[in-house]
Amino acid sequence: MEGAIGGNHGRVTDGPADLAGRTDLPSDTALAGRTALAGRTALVTGASRGLGRAIAAGLAGAGASVIGMSRDAAALEEAVGSFGGRALVHDLADVDGIAARVEGLEVDILVNAAAVMSSRRSKTLDATLAEWRDVRAVDLDAPFALVSALVPGMAARRWGRVVNLTACLGRMTGPGTAGGLAPYRVAKAGLNALTRTLAHELALGRRGVLVDATCPGHCRTDMGGPDAPRSVDQGADTAIWLATRASTPSDPVPTGRLWEDRAEVPW
C-alpha cells in the first residue's frame, strides 16, 4: 500500500485493484421503491462533499428528510440546499458534544460517512499519540457517539438503518490492515467491529434495525484524489442501497455484514 500512497500524492488507494477501470459497476443510484423512505429522517455525516453528499442526496431522492452534519457551514448549507435538506454544523472531533447536538432528533437512518485520513507517514511507529487520537475521534468515536444517541430510538420504534462507511484498509483480509496509515486503518477496523457487534446486539434485523458497513472503493473525492478509478456515484451507491433495503423483523435481510458494490465481502 505504501507505493500506492506515495504515488498518489499522499492520497490512499483504497479499493481492490481489480475494480480499477471497470465500467460494469453500479452508477445509477436510482432505486426501485423510492417512496420507501417517505416519512423517514436520515442523518448523514460528511454531507458537505464527497461520498456523504452523494449519499445524502440519494436518500433525499428516495423520499427521506435529510439532515447533513459536518464542519464547514457554508459548504454544508450549499450541499443540503441542493436537495432540500437541513444543515447541522458540528465538528465531530468534539465527541463529547455530539449527544447534545442531536438531542431531540428522531432519526431513522444514520449514515456515518465523515472521516479524516492519517498523514501519509503514519506507520504505527511513526504515528503520534495526538494523530492517533484525532483520527480515532472522528472516524470511530464520533460514529459510536451517534449510534449511542440515535439508535435506541430506532430500536424503540422498531425501524432503523445504520450504514457505516468503512474502508478496505480497515479489513482484516485482503489489503486490509497490512501496514501504513495506522490510525486510519485501525479506526476503520474498529468501525467494522462496531458494525458487527451492534448488528448482533440488535438481533440481526429482528428488532427492525439493520446495521451494515460498506467500503466504497477508491473514489474521486477530496480524500480519494482526482485520479481515483471510481466516481462518487459508484462509491455512494451501496450505502444508499443499504439504507433503502426493505426488511421485516420476522424475515430480515442479511445484515451485520461488510458490503462492496451491493455484494458481501469478508471482513
Ligand X SMILES: NC(=O)c1ccc[n+]([C@@H]2O[C@H](COP(=O)([O-])OP(=O)(O)OC[C@H]3O[C@@H](n4cnc5c(N)ncnc54)[C@H](OP(=O)(O)O)[C@@H]3O)[C@@H](O)[C@H]2O)c1
Residue nearest ligand X by beta-carbon distance? 50
Please identify, using beta-carbon distances, which residue of 165 and 209 lies nearer to ligand X: 165
Please identify, using beta-carbon distances, which residue of 33 and 97 lies nearer to ligand X: 97
CA 136 vs CA 32, 196, 229: distances in Å: 36, 18, 27
Q: How far is the CB of 70 from ligand X (least distance, A)?
A: 3
- Hey, what's the cell of 195? 458494525
- To the nearest 5 percent, what fractions of the chain are helix, strand and coil? 40, 15, 45
Touching ligand X, residues 170-229 (CB under 6 A): 215-216, 218-219, 221-224, 228
Q: Tell me the one-letter amino acid at 184.
A: Y
The single residue listed with the C-alpha cell 462518487 is: 232
| Residue 48 contacts ligand X per CB under 6 A | yes
Burial of 189-201, coded b for 16+ CB within 10 Å and e otherwise, reads bbbbbbbbebbee
Query: Do the beta carbons of residue 8 and residue 180 sit within 8 Å?
Result: no
Q: Which of 107, 114, 127, 150 binds ligand X (CB under 6 A)?
A: 114
The single residue listed with the C-alpha cell 451492534 is: 198
Query: Do the beta carbons of residue 151 and residue 207 sit within 8 Å?
Result: no
Please identify, using beta-carbon distances, which residue of 72 and 206 lies nearer to ligand X: 72
Which is the catalytic residue, given 55, 79, 109, 184?
A: 184
| Residue 43 contacts ligand X per CB under 6 A | no
Active site residue 184: yes
**Contact residues: ligand X, CB under 6 A:** 14, 45-46, 48-52, 70-72, 75, 91-93, 113-116, 138, 165, 167, 215-216, 218-219, 221-224, 228
Q: Which residues are catalytic?
A: 184
